[in-house]
């Protein structure tokens, strides 16, 4: 009779068809999530014109989804530790698909904001759960790369929103890109069937039947005896449900706060750009089609940054990779204030996307690796939820600057300053006393 530590087994596993299936489904969910979030920014100039709202009101309308994302990240991130990730992810897909489509039926800013708030619950709730899912099932040697590769789907969703907006908004109206968001509801039954449940959740429920199936899929050569049992890592054996207080135990407190600051500043950069870049470039004299092309460049850069950042994070210390990405994001945002050619501007905007959205995606992977598996969803959910305050503040603050008719350069300088502050916070995170660091060392010693 053996006690099998499923997480150590995952750490040592070779990437196979099972891992590819988990990656594919997580990747697809993130694409949908990215589309639902970016669609409002792509349509914002036309929405402002048709509803007759000011820039300040438009900022509030954009922030309504982000308010929902804050609550969704906090509560739905923790909910999965109690009811399982498959059902929580499916609930999130239902919320953001149905209510994003419902926002396309509205004709006034208040009703629009309510629909986007409810959609935001699902958009925010799915991120910590998908991050925890990929982190839990990815082999240790390529964990950062797989997690960031999955999150590159977020930028693909943004590109999809910009491309559809560029092709159809002028001809069919802004509502068409919102109506398209309802299609993913059809995927929910497929998410529930092939998506594996959280290993920690199954161990806590002593569900040996599903654990045996998953373990054989992770490592087909691993032989399980009839009397073998499963246990979580030592750091997970408290026997209690995940709580916020656990994020501050075992020396994790200061680093938890620094993660919260980093998420705040990173999401501030992302949502300032995703909400206002189209409008700011239109105000600079570019047509709607050209302004949406800048959004495409931003998201192409985000894909390159997230995949490249994940590759670097598996080869160097992930902490310093994200510190450099955040700091460079601030530098490139400052460069957007300089007079240059249109070709160079496209490259600068792509670099901004690589370091802002790409950097934030690597930070999600970093946060997922920092916390032990029993509180991973809660840790990512709280950091993401607190970070949503930055996401909420961004459209409101940039909308205020636009309404005051201040120079456009000040918008980019404010956004760039957030990147520098986030880099400083990430530099202050300490690995040594964290429980996750101890758990990884123990797992490595056991494997040896």
Radius of gyration of the chain (CA): 21
Q: Give the DSSP H or E segment for 5.
A: strand 3-5
Whether the CB-CB separation of 132 and 85 falls below 8 Å is answered with yes
Whether the CB-CB separation of 109 and 51 falls below 8 Å is answered with yes
Average pLDDT score over residue span 190-196: 80
Is the model's pLDDT at 376 over the cut of 80? no
What pLDDT does 99 receive? 92
Tokens 């299936």, residue located: 21
Which of 78-87, 171-180, 255-264 shows the highest mean pLDDT? 255-264
Neighbours of 245 (CB within 10 A): 8
pLDDT tens digit string along 17-73?
A: 888 888 888 898 888 888 887 787 778 778 888 888 877 787 778 778 878 887 887
Is the model's pLDDT at 254 over the cut of 80? yes
Is the model's pLDDT at 249 over the cut of 80? no
* Range with the poorest average pLDDT among 99-103, 136-140, 386-390, 410-414: 410-414
Average pLDDT score over residue span 402-429: 82
Average pLDDT score over residue span 290-297: 76
Can you give the residue range of the structural domain that contains 312?
3-447
Q: Which residues of 88-98 are buried (b: 16+ CB within 10 A; e: fewer)?
A: bbbbbbebbbb
Average pLDDT score over residue span 177-181: 87
What percent of the chain stands above pLDDT 90?
Answer: 6
* Range with the poorest average pLDDT among 7-11, 112-116, 287-291, 393-397: 287-291
What pLDDT does 440 receive? 39
Predicted confidence band of residue 438 (pLDDT cuts 50, 70, 90):
very low
What pLDDT does 263 receive? 92
What pLDDT does 261 receive? 92
Predicted confidence band of residue 415 (pLDDT cuts 50, 70, 90):
confident
Average confidence score pLDDT of the chain: 79
What percent of the chain stands above pLDDT 70?
Answer: 88
More confident residue, 262 or 200: 262
What pLDDT does 309 receive? 85
pLDDT tens digit string along 212-239?
A: 888 788 877 777 777 767 765 544 443 3
pLDDT tens digit string along 72-89?
A: 877 776 777 778 888 888
What's the CATH number where 77 sits?
Answer: 1.20.1250.20
Torsion, CA 46, CA 52, CA 56, CA 62, rounded to 10: -40
More confident residue, 214 or 98: 98
What pLDDT does 260 receive? 92
Whether the CB-CB separation of 267 and 391 falls below 8 Å is answered with yes
Spacing of C-alpha 57 from chain mean position: 26
Q: Give the DSSP H or E segment for 4.
A: strand 3-5
What pLDDT does 221 receive? 76
Range 103-112, long-range pairs (CB < 8 A, 24+ positions): 103/40, 103/178, 104/174, 104/175, 104/176, 104/177, 104/178, 104/179, 104/181, 105/175, 107/51, 108/51, 109/51, 109/53, 109/57, 109/60, 109/61, 112/47, 112/51, 112/61, 112/64
More confident residue, 334 or 326: 326
Which pair of structure tokens corresponds to residue 269? 């950069």
Predicted confidence band of residue 264 (pLDDT cuts 50, 70, 90):
very high
What pLDDT does 435 receive? 38
Q: How many domains does the chain have?
A: 1
């Amino acid at each position: 009779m053996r006690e099998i530590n499923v997480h150590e087994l995952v750490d040592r596993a070779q990437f196979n068809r099972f891992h590819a299936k988990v990656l594919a489904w997580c990747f697809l969910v993130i694409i949908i999530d990215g589309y639902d979030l970016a669609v409002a920014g792509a349509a914002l100039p036309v929405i402002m014109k048709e509803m007759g709202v000011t820039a300040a009101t438009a900022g509030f309308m954009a922030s309504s989804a982000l308010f929902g994302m804050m609550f969704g990240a906090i509560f739905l991130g923790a909910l999965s530790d109690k009811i399982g990730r498959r059902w929580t992810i499916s609930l999130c897909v239902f919320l953001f698909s149905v209510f994003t489509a419902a926002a396309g039926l509205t004709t006034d800013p208040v009703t629009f904001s309510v629909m986007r708030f409810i959609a935001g619950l699902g958009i925010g709730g799915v991120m910590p759960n998908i991050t925890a899912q990929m982190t839990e099932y990815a082999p240790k040697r390529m964990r950062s790369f797989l997690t960031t590769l999955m999150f590159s789907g977020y930028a693909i969703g943004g590109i999809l929103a910009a491309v559809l907006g560029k092709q159809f908004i002028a001809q069919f109206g802004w509502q068409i890109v919102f109506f398209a968001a309802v299609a993913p509801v059809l995927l929910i039954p497929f998410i529930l069937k092939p998506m594996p449940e959280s290993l920690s959740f199954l161990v806590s429920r002593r569900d040996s039947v599903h654990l045996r199936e998953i373990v054989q899929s992770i490592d087909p050569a691993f032989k399980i005896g009839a009397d073998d049992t499963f246990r979580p890592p030592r750091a997970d054996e408290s026997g209690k449900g995940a709580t916020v207080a656990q994020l501050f135990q075992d020396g994790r407190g200061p680093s938890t706060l620094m993660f919260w600051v980093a998420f705040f500043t990173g999401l501030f950069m992302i949502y300032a750009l995703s909400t206002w870049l189209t409008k700011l470039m239109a105000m600079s004299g570019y047509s709607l089609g050209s302004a949406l092309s800048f959004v495409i460049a931003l998201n192409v850069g985000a894909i390159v940054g997230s995949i490249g950042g994940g590759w670097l994070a598996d080869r160097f210390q992930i902490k310093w990779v994200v510190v450099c990405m955040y700091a460079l994001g601030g530098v490139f945002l400052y460069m957007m204030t300089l007079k240059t050619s249109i070709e160079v501007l496209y490259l600068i905007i792509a670099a901004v996307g690589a370091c802002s959205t790409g950097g934030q995606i690597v930070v999600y992977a970093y946060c997922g690796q920092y916390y032990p598996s029993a509180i991973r969803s809660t840790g990512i959910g709280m950091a993401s939820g607190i970070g949503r305050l930055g996401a909420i503040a961004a459209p409101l603050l940039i909308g205020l600057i636009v309404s005051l008719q201040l120079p456009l350069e000040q918008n980019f300088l404010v956004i760039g300053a957030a990147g520098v502050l986030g880099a400083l916070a990430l530099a202050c995170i300490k690995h040594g006393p964290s429980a996750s660091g101890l758990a990884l060392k123990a797992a490595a010693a056991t494997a040896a």
